[in-house]
């Protein structure tokens, strides 16, 4: 099997917390966690957002989460998503304030059955044709 590595030589332009996250990926204990997570088909991601003017990387603020809908990513308040929880599938988590917290979610299409399960499987909400 071929493993493809995509890596920048330096992450020096990142904020300190994100630079530390990038460096942590090279640590043996983090690599071990990644290996253990892979048995559950899980991985590691770096929660982040971007400055709307400059495009610079920013740590993901506690009052927003990453949301993918119609193949576009946006940042929304978790309470807005919680009000429509049946429409979203959590896909990213981080540890905050002593608990697992959803950091990223995908908006799903279709209607749920009576027990909240999707009637025809789980499908991602796609771009709407005009």
Give yes or no for residue 5 having a pLDDT over 80: no
Give yes or no for residue 126 having a pLDDT over 80: no
Question: What ranges do the domains of the chain cover?
Answer: 62-130
Quick check: 108 and 89 in contact, CB under 8 A? yes
Q: Which two tokens stand for residue 43?
A: 């991985």
Give yes or no for residue 22 having a pLDDT over 70: yes
Quick check: 118 and 124 in contact, CB under 8 A? no
Give the CA count within 13 Å in the CB-facing half-sphere of 16.
0
Mean pLDDT across the stretch 77-104? 90
Instruction: For residues 4 and 2, give the distance between their C-alpha atoms in angstroms, rounded to a whole number.
Output: 6
The pLDDT, as a whole number, for residue 65 is 93
Give the CA count within 13 Å in the CB-facing half-sphere of 44.
14
Give yes or no for residue 119 having a pLDDT over 90: no
Confidence band (pLDDT; 50, 70, 90) for 124? Answer: confident
- Enter the DSSP assignment of 118: B
Confidence band (pLDDT; 50, 70, 90) for 98? Answer: very high
The alpha helices in 1-130, defined as continuous H runs, are 16-24, 28-38, 78-82
Q: Which of 29-33, 52-56, 90-94, 114-118 has the lowest mean pLDDT?
A: 114-118
Give yes or no for residue 111 having a pLDDT over 70: no
Quick check: 81 and 43 in contact, CB under 8 A? no
Q: Which two tokens stand for residue 125?
A: 């909400």
CA distances from 75 to 13, 111, 123 (A): 22, 24, 21
Confidence band (pLDDT; 50, 70, 90) for 1? Answer: very low
Pick the most confident of 1-5, 9-13, 39-43, 76-80: 39-43
> pTM for the complete prediction?
0.76
């Amino acid at each position: 099997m071929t493993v493809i590595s995509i890596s920048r030589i330096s992450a020096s332009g990142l904020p300190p917390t994100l630079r530390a996250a990038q460096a942590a990926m090279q640590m043996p204990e983090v690599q071990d966690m990644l290996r253990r997570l892979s048995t559950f088909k899980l991985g590691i991601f770096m929660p982040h957002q971007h400055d709307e003017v400059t495009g610079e990387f920013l740590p993901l603020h506690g009052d927003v989460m990453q949301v993918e809908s119609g193949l576009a990513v946006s940042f929304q308040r978790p309470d807005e998503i919680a009000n429509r929880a049946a429409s979203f599938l959590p896909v990213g988590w981080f540890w905050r304030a002593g608990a697992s917290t959803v950091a990223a979610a995908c908006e799903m299409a279709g209607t749920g059955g009576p027990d909240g399960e999707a009637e025809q499987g789980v499908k991602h909400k796609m771009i709407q044709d005009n």
